[in-house]
Structure 1
Amino acid sequence: MNKIHPLMLSFTLVILLAFIFIAGPYIVPHDPLKVQMDNRLQTSSWQHWLGTDHMGRDLLARTLAGAKLTVGVSAAVLAVSVCIGVPMGLLSGYVGGWLDRLFMRLVDAFLAFPDYIVAIVLSGLLGPGMLNLMIAIITVKWVSYARLVRSTVLTEKSKDYVTMAKISGLSPFKIMMKHMLPHVTGNVLVLSTLDMGKVILMIASLSYIGLGAQPPVPEWGSMLNEGRAFFYHASHLMLVPGLAIAIIVLLTNLLGDSLREHFGVKKQKGGFS
């Protein structure tokens, strides 16, 4: 019997879950924002598969709508972080000199504090809201990609094929795009996949304490906060979004580990190589 490849399995599960999150709100007939106080705190039924919350809103509809916000915002945060970090790392590692020294001082300043602490402080300064939360997380996340790319470029630029490219007359920009960028793609893809779960947890946790999505927006972290007061007699209000977060974080970590094995990326202290 043929053994299922871990990468194919994890990728299939992620695609299946993404399809459910995207198509789900169009299949579930309930409005995630519609308040029906006569249906509040219902348990699972044929009409409401996962029950209703304290305001009578369908919990399944809110969970699926929250997936588009939580997961979608996380993907957008990572995309912007990669778009900022990769060019910065390429320039810093290849050009070197004062630019590299300036970059390293900037990195040291960001890495002096944990990501969560900086994100909380920035979110508090900017004010609650998903846009401000995105700005705060991007501010702390791009550094890890720039640092990873820089370390890879520093290793690669001393090799013979780069020297031959310089002798042949290729410009620094073409050398970075043609020779440096392909070498960092695998590392960046692995790190961004593993970071997906971390960013989802960060967004959910900051929304839980009121710095992200604001009610009645159906976001998983804010849903956990809303259900906290009803945990003892309506535990499903917290269990459903909590399980949704746990499942998607687990799947993204499985996909990241599979990609790391596929690209042969070795995990080291402080990043990948």
Structure 2
Amino acid sequence: MRILLLNGNTDPAITELLAARTAAAIPRLGLPAMEVVPATAPFGVRYISTRAAVAVAGHAVLTALAEHVGADNPRGYDAVIIACFGEPGIEAARELLPVPVFGMAETSIAAALALAPRVALLTGGALWVPMLEEFCLIRGLGPDRALVRGVAPTGDMIARDPDGAIALLAEAARAAVADGAGAVVLGGAGLAGLAPRVAPLVGVPVLDSLDCALVAAVRGGAVTPRVGQAPMLGGSDALRRWFA
């Protein structure tokens, strides 16, 4: 199996972190051996934390996917993971790609709801809280099903100092449990790999959003029927060919 792991942020350190955490997660989760190809968004912000950054990242994600999965790349992929909790461009990617596309948020939310009727999404950065609340509401998940919590350090800060974030994440997770959450998702590229360290401090299942995306990709999924596109002006050559 060959999976494209696309970091929607432009920080190569986050891509390296995701690649390392993926390599460690595959045997830990009992997944079959696979080739995981990490990639970084070609433009946009270093770490997504605003609606404007998400909008730009959606274009960057499609550009990267066109270059990696399009006709210019002779080697194919069995699945794509958009390794960014905001999942920029995911629905558009499904319109264009001939392979299943998975996101860290939707797969981890589904896995958490399979464990408990009310779950919590815990991420880094206060600005992500209202954005993720909107993300959940669009999918029919109000606060009676999905609580959204954030800690002050952003995801890239947590990635640079994970040891300093464990106690803070555990405290926020316990507060969500006190508010009725029966499972907690650690959401965000910068938080990848921290769930096993936080879980013993919380008392309910704590899920890693990268783990959940990997498991979903291995299980496979349906390919969305491709939608015809009008010609595109500007953008990368590879992306324009998708719109031709």
TM-score by length of 1: 0.26
Give 1 or 2: higher strand fraction: 2
The alignment's TM-score, normalised by the length of structure 2, stands at: 0.28
Which of these two proteins has the greater Rg computed from alpha carbons? 1
